[in-house]
Structure 1
Amino acid sequence: MSNDKKPDFSDVQSAVKSTEQVKPDFSDVQSKVTSTEAIAGDAVGELTYTVEKGDNLSNIAKHFYGKQDWKRIFDANRDQLSDPDRIQPGQVLKIPARED
């Protein structure tokens, strides 16, 4: 039994659409970053600070305490500091809580 009739695809349609021409709109995107580091640090009475190039203990102390009480920071970090003038960028220093 032979069927000589061929399938008819004359009414089949296709389309391809690309989003490449359409630029995404990010104008309403908002971002917010929060950290719990200060909260956790306050809970145990101690913060940390990562030393940046140009920092010294006096300036770090002034930032956290409002005065150049560098010795408190030096004493809290004697496990990694042997000389208050030799702090290195990238070091993470413990910052004792303020004594008001």
Structure 2
Amino acid sequence: MSSTDKKADFSDVTSKVDTTAEVVPKADFSDVTAKVDSSAEIVGEQQYTVQKGDNLSKIAKNTLGDANAWKQIFEANRDVLDDPDKIFPGQSLKIPARQG
């Protein structure tokens, strides 16, 4: 740049932003309550803590008397189990009531 070149002068440039968006107050959920009613009876359901070496068939045999009942245990615990082959020591599982 030579000394005769003029530098751009932006000193008098101003900016203004107009918006049509509404300013919405944050939602207030402080008075929200929840209640769950169920007509299902949980009779005979128990909790079982997985031990080292356990699998669902072994747990089913020991708790329900039928190794094939592992599917019932898996279905009762779908909230914590994605795979019937992946259970871990220390996990707490729901054991459903024996099927008549």
Question: TM-score band, normalised by the shorter chain?
Answer: 0.5 to 0.7
Structure 1 partner of 2:65: 66
Residues of 1 paired with 2:79 and 2:61: CA distance?
Answer: 22
Structure 2 partner of 1:79: 79
SS in 2 for 1:74: helix
- Give the C-alpha shift of residue 44 in structure 1: 3.6
Structure 2 partner of 1:38: none
- Structure 2 runs not aligned, ≥5 long: 1-41
Q: Which has the higher helix share?
A: 1
| Map 1:28-39 → 2, pairs under 5 A | none
TM-score, length basis structure 1 = 0.55
Q: Deviations over 1:6-58 (max 9, x none)?
A: xxxxxxxxxxxxxxxxxxxxxxxxxxxxxxxxxxxxx7431000000000000
- Structure 1 runs not aligned, ≥5 long: 1-42
Structure 2 partner of 1:49: 48
TM-score, length basis structure 2 = 0.55
- Aligned positions, number: 58
Structure 2 partner of 1:26: none
**Identity level (%):** 66
Runs ≥4 residues deviating over 3 A: none
